Homo-oligomer: A and B are copies of this chain.
Amino acid sequence: MGESLNGMKRTIMCGQLRETDVDKVVTVMGWVQRRRNLGGLIFVDLRDRTGIVQVVFGEEINKEAFEKANPIRSEYVIAVSGKVVLRESPNSQLPTGQIEIKAESLRILSESETPPIYIMENLDASEAIRLKYRYLDLRRPDMQRRIMIRHKTAKVVRDFMDENGFLEIETPMLIKSTPEGARDYLVPSRNFPGKFYALPQSPQIYKQLLMISGYDRYFQIVRCFRDEDLRANRQPEFTQIDIEMSFVDIDDVIELNERLIQKIFKEIKGIDVQIPFMRMPYKEAIEKYGSDKPDLRFGMEIIDIKDVVKSSSFKVFSDVVASGGEIRGINAKGCADFGRKEIDRLTEYVKTYGAKGIAWIAIKENEIKSSFAKFMTEDELKAIIDRMDGKVGDLLLIIADKSKTAFASLGALRLELGRKLNLIGPDNNEYKFLWVTEFPLVEFDEEEGRYVAVHHPFTAPMDEDIKYLETDIGKVRAKAYDIVLNGEEIGGGSIRIHDTKLQERMFNAIGLDIEKAWAKFGYLLEAFKYGPPPHGGLAYGFDRLIMFLTETDNIKDVIAFPKNQNAADPMSNSPSEVDKKQLEELGIDIVEQK
């Protein structure tokens, strides 16, 4: 049975004890990691969030404590007082391994049944059981480290933003539903039966309103919600670092955020990140890396060979040339000895991205093998090899397809080769930051049959492209930017339109009629009548950033109480049924499912 503290005070945490504490009498409290009997003594490894310390109970040390220690088992919570002494056999693996505590008194604060999962690093248990017993999973030291890094990162962000004149301003969670973007979580209103609030997908409109209100520099670490089918590493509720600034253009936002990132990586990982980061226009990113979030930890850039093969008689190439597609390739350095099987595997892989196949050239010591040699003259082959800088030992992989497919397939192929060749992966602790800029303002939405905003319709076009709004909108680049780390987007934002007339031209250009726009964003448009400052901002996926900082690829590892793939919580059995009476008050009813 659990005893009360009754005035007993902890004097130090377990993991803090060192050789310098020898001869002090200390009181520690924590969980029993392990208990062993050895040579008439009882050894207990006692754990708190700072680490583990060894406690020794013995008849000679203190008989009462020794006897009281007898029932102790794993995960019991105890308080121990005693003198710190040097260990006879030190453990150099533990920071506290030089010392131990000779227990002079013991209080058993609470008992524990045998836990259903082991409280240990890198537990290999199913996700289902880890989520069901999340309070035990959260006891594991690797989980605790990640949660502590999350706390510390939030603190570093807040300190930095405060020092730079940003105000953290809370925006509402019960907001208006807008049928734009992802699916909203809805909240029925009791005062207005049949009406609903939505939970925010982001505070986008509120942060723009705060700029119009003159707050100048806003940020918030804020919960956001999306009711979408959960892909891996998505959660229905997630956290953003949300930032907005007034009287700025792209460079101001980028400069601030580079210093923020630099500070985070210095404080959390002790790494000096060099700034400014590289910037790359969207077009270049696609053409060189087949991706708008290129992983720059390795090269293997995509090479355009269309002009050297355009008059080839190889039908695969000539058809693509005729239909205006792309013929591009990657030089997989040193991979000439890939077997047929491996090349087949890569071919299957790119097919999932829509490519029809891979044309390849393997440059071996004494011969050049190629899937299409027989359709080419030796000169033509040589021209390709020259263009792709092919050397002995290289494997040239070529895809000819319509533009979108070619880039997507080559981008994916490049990453697959990077992984295969261990150029990227869990052991690669390089951090390659990149700003991708000059995104297209709009993209053609096949479903809607019109152009739609790539980011949101408040994103400003680049000054020099405004003139194409009405004549060639597909050509207009946006003042939008993503920050990419090792091939993952960790944040993105834009400069917003602050001119009502330009906003109207934008709505017109994407064929969104003004009335519809007013129905959706009326209060923001109304606000724009009263002196909006130029403004722009950025938002980071905070969970994703913490994943990088804690080197995990599982978003559930960085959230204390995440949901599972069905957006459910197996621990609390949520969502759950509610009283009929509650629904009556809300004026809603459950539709019987067939």
- Measured CB to CB, the residues of A under 8 A from B are 1-2, 4-7, 10, 13, 29-31, 47-49, 75-77, 79, 109-113, 115, 134-136, 138-139, 144, 147-148, 150-151, 154-155, 158, 162, 167-177, 179, 183-199, 205-206, 209-210, 212-216, 223, 225, 227, 236-237, 239, 246-249, 463, 498-502, 522-523, 527, 529-534, 559-561, 563, 566-569, 571-579, 582, 584-591, 593
Complex alpha-carbon distance, A79 and B236, angstroms: 42
Q: Say which residue of B150, B192, B569 sits within 8 Å of A568 (CB atoms).
A: B192
The list of the 5 closest CB pairs from A to B, nearest first, reads: A138-B213, A176-B574, A112-B531, A2-B499, A189-B575
Complex alpha-carbon distance, A546 and B484, angstroms: 39
Query: Is B574 within 8 A of A197, CB to CB?
Result: yes
Shortest Cβ distance from residue A70 to the other chain B in the assembled complex, whole angstroms: 17
User: Which of A112, A168, A533, A577 has the most chain B CB atoms closer than 10 A to its own CB?
Assistant: A533
Query: Is B225 within 8 A of A173, CB to CB?
Result: yes
Query: Is A109 within 8 A of B186, CB to CB?
Result: no
Query: Is B213 within 8 A of A29, CB to CB?
Result: no
Give chain B residues whose Cβ lies under 8 Å from the Cβ of A134.
Answer: 209, 213
Give chain B residues whose Cβ lies under 8 Å from the Cβ of A210.
Answer: 135, 138, 560
Q: Say which residue of B48, B155, B575 sits within 8 Å of A195 (CB atoms).
A: B575
Query: Is A112 within 8 A of B176, CB to CB?
Result: no
Shortest Cβ distance from residue A352 to the other chain B in the assembled complex, whole angstroms: 26
Query: Is A6 within 8 A of B463, CB to CB?
Result: yes
Query: Is A237 within 8 A of B576, CB to CB?
Result: no
Query: Is B560 within 8 A of A136, CB to CB?
Result: no
How many copies of the chain does the oligomer comprise?
Answer: 2
Q: Taking CB as reference atom, which chain B residue is nearest A543?
A: B170
21 A-B contacts (beta carbon < 8 Å): A1-B501, A10-B247, A29-B533, A30-B214, A49-B215, A75-B531, A113-B529, A134-B209, A136-B213, A139-B213, A144-B215, A147-B169, A151-B167, A155-B168, A173-B237, A175-B569, A176-B575, A183-B582, A191-B568, A587-B591, A588-B591
Q: Taking CB as reference atom, which chain B residue is nearest A499?
A: B2
Query: Is A214 within 8 A of B144, CB to CB?
Result: yes
Q: Say which residue of B188, B236, B563, B573 sits within 8 Å of A186 (CB atoms).
A: B188
Shortest Cβ distance from residue A473 to the other chain B in the assembled complex, whole angstroms: 19
Query: Is B195 within 8 A of A576, CB to CB?
Result: yes
Query: Is A135 within 8 A of B187, CB to CB?
Result: no
Query: Is B138 within 8 A of A593, CB to CB?
Result: no
Complex alpha-carbon distance, A560 and B172, angstroms: 8
Q: Taking CB as reference atom, which chain B residue is nearest A582?
A: B186
User: Which of A214, A501, A559 has the most chain B CB atoms closer than 10 A to its own CB?
Assistant: A214
Q: Taking CB as reference atom, which chain B residue is nearest A79?
A: B247
Complex alpha-carbon distance, A197 and B162, angstroms: 35
Give chain B residues whose Cβ lies under 8 Å from the Cβ of A199.
Answer: 173, 187
Q: Identify 7 new A-B residue pairs, CB closer than 8 A, beyond the known A4-B534, A110-B531, A155-B158.
A: A5-B534, A49-B215, A147-B169, A154-B168, A176-B569, A192-B568, A194-B593
Query: Is B186 within 8 A of A578, CB to CB?
Result: yes
Give chain B residues whose Cβ lies under 8 Å from the Cβ of A176.
Answer: 569, 572-576
Complex alpha-carbon distance, A247 and B49, angstroms: 13
Query: Is B214 within 8 A of A49, CB to CB?
Result: yes
Known: A167-B147, A193-B590. A179 touches B579 (CB 8 A): yes
Give chain B residues whose Cβ lies under 8 Å from the Cβ of A162.
Answer: 151, 155
Complex alpha-carbon distance, A62 and B502, angstroms: 29
Query: Is B498 within 8 A of A2, CB to CB?
Result: yes
Query: Is B531 within 8 A of A498, CB to CB?
Result: no
Query: Is A192 within 8 A of B77, CB to CB?
Result: no
Query: Is A193 within 8 A of B498, CB to CB?
Result: no
Q: Say which residue of B502, B531, B574, B585 sits within 8 Å of A31 (CB atoms).
A: B531
Q: Say which residue of B498, B575, B593 sits within 8 Å of A197 (CB atoms).
A: B575
Query: Is A533 within 8 A of B173, CB to CB?
Result: no
Give chain B residues whose Cβ lies under 8 Å from the Cβ of A216.
Answer: 13, 48-49
Known: A249-B5, A561-B206. A590 touches B590 (CB 8 A): no
Shortest Cβ distance from residue A358 to the other chain B in the assembled complex, whole angstroms: 39
Shortest Cβ distance from residue A517 to the other chain B in the assembled complex, whole angstroms: 15
Complex alpha-carbon distance, A176 and B568, angstroms: 10
Complex alpha-carbon distance, A589 and B586, angstroms: 11
Shortest Cβ distance from residue A546 to the other chain B in the assembled complex, whole angstroms: 11
Give chain B residues whose Cβ lies under 8 Å from the Cβ of A167.
Answer: 147-148, 151
Complex alpha-carbon distance, A566 and B227, angstroms: 27
Complex alpha-carbon distance, A69 and B212, angstroms: 21
Give chain B residues whose Cβ lies under 8 Å from the Cβ of A150.
Answer: 169-170
Shortest Cβ distance from residue A323 to the other chain B in the assembled complex, whole angstroms: 38
Known: A167-B151, A498-B109. A527 touches B135 (CB 8 A): yes
Give chain B residues whose Cβ lies under 8 Å from the Cβ of A237.
Answer: 172-174
Give chain B residues whose Cβ lies under 8 Å from the Cβ of A573.
Answer: 176, 522-523
User: Which of A151, A192, A571 has the most chain B CB atoms closer than 10 A to its own CB?
Assistant: A151
Complex alpha-carbon distance, A223 and B224, angstroms: 12
Q: Taking CB as reference atom, which chain B residue is nearest A113?
A: B529
Shortest Cβ distance from residue A13 to the other chain B in the assembled complex, whole angstroms: 8
Give chain B residues whose Cβ lies under 8 Å from the Cβ of A5.
Answer: 247-249, 534
